[in-house]
Structure 1
Amino acid sequence: RPLAGRGGMEGPAPWKRLSKEELEDQYSPSRWVIRRGAEEALRTYSHIGDEATKKARATRKSLLHVSYGDGEGEKLDIYFPEGVSEASPFCLFFHGGYWQSGSKDTSAFMVNPLTEQGVTVVVVAYDIAPKGTLDQMVDQVTRSIVFVQKQYPCNEGIYLCGHSAGAHLAAMMLLANWTKHGVTPNLKGFFLVSGIYDLKPIVYTSQNAPLLMTLEDAQRNSPQLLLEVALTRPLDPACHVLVSVGQHDSPEFHRQSKEFYQTLRQGGWNASFEEIHDMDHFEIIWNLTQKDYVLTQMILRTILQEP
């Protein structure tokens, strides 16, 4: 039956009209793939990420497992372009996995196409559940960006790219309080790929089992809900936010992306929305290994400031 009558849930959010089974279905991305079975899609995604990372580490100058904090899981990998320059643009990538799986060590999808064009790519690890809570993950992502800004103050811009749960973590940086960190990162763009921006529906799915997220946790960590009431305006009007979703992502993923884009526009952000043709939730990110892929090209055009 629909979840609308449950305690602590009010208002007209469309997801509340879904039954628990429908909600589970909508927020299970592997159920929506069209070219392969769910298990095969997950295996392929993992294999491509693993191979891309091996290739990046074999062919690019890199600094691996760099500590951005004191925690064991607070590490990042930095991949440099040819002719290393600290003045290059930096693109930080945050992996997906519903805040409970995934690793920087299998997530270097975009390294080769971006470093070929003079962009330094940083792949960031964070403590996934059950070790890490959402509040901790958001704090870790914040500190990873502060670390890059302090290490490379001459950067030509910091761009954040996240997939799925990683898109959520990147989106939370739109609302970050940088003053307590003593540095304001030179943020120039966000690439949010098949993300979740209102976490409340997740509370009612099996994905929440390792997260142990309450409705209060979800509210506090939902960029959609925070932006709706935020009085802050974009620090830099030129900072571009690309919200993208795969054509074959579920209707709920589509709704979340469109609503987040609309909220950004209403808040004065320089935002754009793209549905990536014929891509599912996993293909949309693993194709970033290809330089001629439409999303790779959008990201490069934004970073290289080409029309």
Structure 2
Amino acid sequence: MKAESSSAAELLAALRAEGTLERETLDRDYNARATVTAEHFNEEMRRYRQLSQPARAMNSATLDVVYDEISGQTLDIFGAAEPGESLKPVFLFVHGGYWRALSKLDSSFMAPALAKHGIATAVLDYRLAPAVSLGEIVREVRQAIAFLWRRGAHYGINPQRIFAGGSSAGGHLTGMLLANGWQANAHVPENVIKGALAISGLFHLAPIAASFVQDWISLTPQQVTELSPAEDISRMGCPLIVAFAAQEATGFGRQSRTYHKLWREAGHECDFMEIPNRNHFDVVLDLADPETKLSRALVELVRLG
């Protein structure tokens, strides 16, 4: 990470200091489920799966491609180029679920809308906590990017135009894809990702390790530092959109605002979007509707990238 200005140092210090707040405060600030009724939450989970079904019926769908031989995890690809067509840019979507829930079956709802703009979509499974560590989850997601770089052309994807994004825990994992250092070990260029979208993400894990989430994520102090994207702002600094819902739990909004400021403080292009009339769970479904502000912003990100 480049040398911090005083303001960046202050922002990082504030994120770290969050971990010293009372457990009761942190549990409230990071409890997204408490912001909606149980009925509403269950309905949104059904919509994730329901809205993802049309993608799996697309003629261009390629399902269950193993991207990581070690874990055996797979990804699905939608809307890629057919033989004879030019290779297409790809948006890799990383699902949320506080690192312990959901799957790629719930996560392809943006594919039909993106395909209309000539953009392919890839969605992946990663193993979930507490069966594996967060460090292993990060490794697997990074391997998906490496796979698209090495083998994407075989599937109709342009490896020079890889974009990534995710929501909630997927926003955190998107941040870890943008961090420095892993690219050399994965044998990919440092600028392998040409643009990113982080929705309602978690960018510093100090408060997470002091909250109810620690019950299944089991972070050590060293992991809190190593797995916090805010601690390692990318040197390359691809264009980034940081978005969150207006009806978020307080901690998610606070972290999104701070990560946006850190990215800008480092001299990188970063847009910020607070989506009105949305909560932590339905905001990402705006990507299924090509007319929403969030969907249009993603298309523009890829177009300019």
Into which bin does the TM-score normalised by the smaller protein fall? 0.7 to 0.9
Distance 1:301 1:125 in 2: 26
- Greater shift, 151-160 or 187-196, is seen at 151-160
In the TM superposition, 1:130-279 aligns within 5 A as 130-153=130-153, 154-155=158-159, 157-176=161-180, 177-184=182-189, 186-227=192-233, 233-234=235-236, 239-279=238-278
Residue 19 of structure 2 corresponds to residue 20 of structure 1: no
- Per the TM alignment, residue 12 of structure 1 is displaced from its structure 2 partner at its CA by 5.0
| Two-structure CA RMSD over aligned residues (Å) | 2.0
Structure 1 segments of 4+ aligned residues over 3 angstroms from their partners: 11-14, 81-86, 153-156
How many aligned positions are there? 285
Distance 2:260 2:226 in 1: 19
2:75 alignment counterpart: 76
Residue 208 of structure 1 aligns with an amino acid whose one-letter code is Q
- Per the TM alignment, residue 290 of structure 1 is displaced from its structure 2 partner at its CA by 1.1
Q: Which has the higher contact order (CA 8 A, sep 6+)?
A: 2
1:91 alignment counterpart: 91
What do the CA deviations read for 1:155-202 (whole angstroms, capped 9, x no partner)?
A: 451110110001111111112421222222642100000000001111
Contact 1:86 1:152 (8 Å CA) reproduced: no
Contact 2:81 2:87 (8 Å CA) reproduced: no
Contact 1:77 1:123 (8 Å CA) reproduced: yes
Distance 1:182 1:72 in 2: 18
Q: Which runs of 5+ in 2 are unaligned?
A: 1-12
Q: Aligned with 2:91: secondary structure?
A: strand
- Calculate percent identity across the aligned residue pairs: 27
Contact 1:15 1:252 (8 Å CA) reproduced: no
1:299 alignment counterpart: 298
Q: Aligned with 1:157: secondary structure?
A: strand
- Per the TM alignment, residue 83 of structure 1 is displaced from its structure 2 partner at its CA by 5.0
Contact 2:174 2:198 (8 Å CA) reproduced: yes
Contact 2:94 2:174 (8 Å CA) reproduced: yes
In the TM superposition, 1:55-66 aligns within 5 A as 55-66=54-65
Residue 167 of structure 2 aligns with an amino acid whose one-letter code is H
1:4 alignment counterpart: none
Contact 2:178 2:193 (8 Å CA) reproduced: no
Distance 1:171 1:145 in 2: 13
Q: What TM-score, normalized to structure 2?
A: 0.87
What do the CA deviations read for 1:83-120 (whole angstroms, capped 9, x no partner)?
A: 56462110000000011111111111211110121111
Q: Aligned with 1:152: secondary structure?
A: helix
Residue 205 of structure 2 aligns with an amino acid whose one-letter code is L
Residue 90 of structure 1 aligns with an amino acid whose one-letter code is V
Contact 1:203 1:213 (8 Å CA) reproduced: yes
What do the CA deviations read for 1:185-236 (whole angstroms, capped 9, x no partner)?
A: 6421000000000011111222221211122211110011233xxxx621xx
Distance 1:46 1:251 in 2: 21
Q: Which runs of 5+ in 1 are unaligned?
A: 1-10
Distance 2:59 2:71 in 1: 25
Q: Cα 1:204–1:82, aligned 2, differ >3 Å: closer, same or farther?
A: same
Distance 1:187 1:119 in 2: 15
Q: What TM-score, normalized to structure 1?
A: 0.87
2:128 alignment counterpart: 128
1:3 alignment counterpart: none
